Chains A and B, each alone.
Chain A
Amino acid sequence: MLNAIDKELLKGVADLEDIPKGAYNIRKNGELMGREVSANINIETNEAGNGIIITIKPGTQNESVHIPVILSQAGLHDVVYNTFIIGEDSNVTIVAGCGIHCGSSQSEGHSGIHEFRIGKNAQISYVEKHLAIGEGEGKRTLNPTTKIFMEENAHAEMELTQIGGVDEAKRMNEAELGPGCSLLVSEKVLTDGTQNAESKNELILKGEDSRANLVSRSVIRGDSNQDFFVQLTALAKCFGHIECDAIIMDNGTNQTMPALKAEHPGAELTHEASIGKIADDQLIKLMSLGVSYDDAVNKIIQGFLQ
């Protein structure tokens, strides 16, 4: 059922060698390619027929669901609306991601709108990788939107990675945290050539003792550009931290704008941001251990984005 290109894409975005175990939904070129549900995880097509609803039963423990999207059809722009309903007290890993293979001069793209409703005391780990490969000249576009609503004491870790090959990316992350919730977002983006990536983030700390931590790491090669915006708003006694580092190589350009907004006296918000070349002392240390300049650069970038 899976051809060589499909396999390469699935490996790249979901670390899958073949059809996954447990619940999954694989979408290829805008159509359902395969689906499996489990006793605790249900997947169904939504009413409008333009996405899926994934429902995790309350109390589900240590299960995972894979929902990769692969695209290899010239000229296709796929838009999906996926909803995740995460039951109370559950603990799940969700692996999403989109792989594009572009073999022609026609453009291809995917826009995934993911909405998460995370119940009380639930914990999720969400891993999303974006990758584009192929010899074609066509423009590859990926515009993901993630909306997260967290009820009391929910915990979410979101790992968002754009590995390479994506020409144009516009990401939007929104989150609302209830009391006692914690959210960790880590975003890693590598651009090269004339690629452009934009990431807009709006995190609202609504509940008392909620915590948000956003870590963004960008590597900007060639003549590419990345813009990163984040606004952290505190409406209660809470803790929030933003850390964004951009490494510029070649002639890359970057804009990083972290913004903090406190509407409650108990808010504790901090940010660190840096833009610059690879630090000399890091390069020199690695070279003094016997690696060449180029290998030192690669190792530092690999570590930074891993």
Chain B
Amino acid sequence: MLELKNITFTAPGTDVEPPRTIIDRLSHTFETGKLYAVTGPNGSGKTTVAKIIMGINAQASGSVLFEDRDISDWSISERAKAGIAYAFQHSARFKGITFRDLLAISLGTDDEDKLVEIIARVGICSMDFLDKPVDAKLSGGEIKKIELATVIATNPKLAIYDEPDTGIDLWTIDPMVELLKKEKEQYGTTTIVVSHNRTFLEAADQLILLRRGKIAYSGDLEGALPMLRDLSICTFTDTCEGVADVECYR
């Protein structure tokens, strides 16, 4: 249902730095109704790929195919209307916009019954969240729950969650994993979860390990275990090189 073909993303250079390749000729095919977990060291390019799929980042070369159509030059709104949704790793904070407003935009209606219905479906946001302003005052966990709810409310065919568990309390992690599984089963949502959390990796039908902008592994969790344990995955060795007092403790 989603195909990434030879995607390359280059970060523009600055006065002091030359342009840098962040995503390097990456290709992968995602099948309808499956749950994918994407993991990899910080800075390996997970968010960059997610944003390329949503149309927020423009790839330098390669193409994105969604339901057999080349959507490479589609705008963010067009992709959203076609059924792609992305829960941001770092959510936008507004002034004067409430959770209710965002949900109404996602749903395309501000009908109270529909809002209540979606909150019940998401389960992890309480009703009294509705009139909370989505501003800088929200806690890290609260904004994550809201971010997730706004994505589900669009009824996406393809949902991408970028570290949905950051800041989420112990009591909500499992319900969140169950929720994404249930969404997949009931609505056939193709789901991509970027996460460092083992619970998500275990729940996935397929695991993708990203390293330096390339897919280092894709398959089941068991097959990935040797690599997940392998210290050479640690990118600290790159940053630590040449610094005398630093050792890698992983």
State whether A217 touches B95 (Cβ < 8 A). yes
Main secondary structure of the interface of A (DSSP, over half): helix
Question: Contacts of B80 on A, CB cut-off 8 Å?
Answer: 287-290
CA distance A282 to B91 in the complex (A): 9
Binds A, one of B96-104, B163-171, B238-246: B96-104
Contact assessment for B77 and A291 in the assembled complex, using a CB-CB cutoff below 8 Å: yes
In the complex the two chains form, is A285's CB within 8 Å of B154's CB? no
Contact A287 B101, beta carbon cutoff 8 Å: no
A284 at the interface (CB under 8 A from B): yes
Across-interface contacts of A285 in B (CB, < 8 A)? 88, 91-92, 102
Count of chain B residues near A, Cβ 8 A: 26
Given the known inter-chain contacts A281-B92, A290-B77, A306-B96, please indicate yes or no for A299 contacting B56, CB distance below 8 A: no
Determine if A293 and B77 form an interchain contact, defined as CB atoms under 8 angstroms apart: yes
Q: A263-306 interface mask toward B, CB cutoff 8 Å, 1 = contact, 0 = none?
A: 00000000000000001011011111111110000011011111
CB atoms of A288 and B101 under 8 A apart: no
Interface size class of A (residues with CB under 8 A): 20 to 34
Contact partners of A8 in chain B: CB under 8 A: none
B105 interface residue (CB < 8 Å to A)? yes
Complex interface residues of chain B between 53 and 107 (CB less than 8 A to chain A): 54, 56, 75-77, 80-81, 85-86, 88, 90-98, 101-102, 105-106
Q: Are A289 and B105 in contact (CB under 8 A)?
A: yes
Whole-angstrom distance between the alpha carbons of A288 and B91 in the complex?
12
Q: Does the CB pair B92–A289 fall under 8 Å?
A: no
Q: Which residues of A contact B77 (CB under 8 A)?
A: 287, 290-293
Known: A245-B95, A285-B102, A288-B85. 10 other contacts (CB 8 A): A284-B56, A285-B91, A287-B80, A290-B77, A293-B75, A299-B97, A299-B105, A303-B98, A304-B95, A306-B96
Can you pick out 25 interface pairs between chain A and chain B where the beta carbons lie within 8 Å of each other? A245-B95, A279-B92, A281-B88, A281-B90, A282-B92, A282-B94, A284-B56, A284-B76, A285-B91, A287-B76, A287-B80, A288-B54, A289-B85, A289-B102, A289-B150, A290-B77, A290-B80, A290-B81, A290-B105, A290-B106, A291-B105, A292-B77, A303-B94, A304-B96, A306-B96
Q: Which residues in B have some Cβ–Cβ distance to A below 8 Å? A: 54, 56, 75-77, 80-81, 85-86, 88, 90-98, 101-102, 105-106, 108, 150, 154
Please give the residue numbers on chain A whose beta carbons come within 8 Å of chain B beta carbons, in ascending order: 217, 245, 279, 281-282, 284-293, 299-300, 302-306
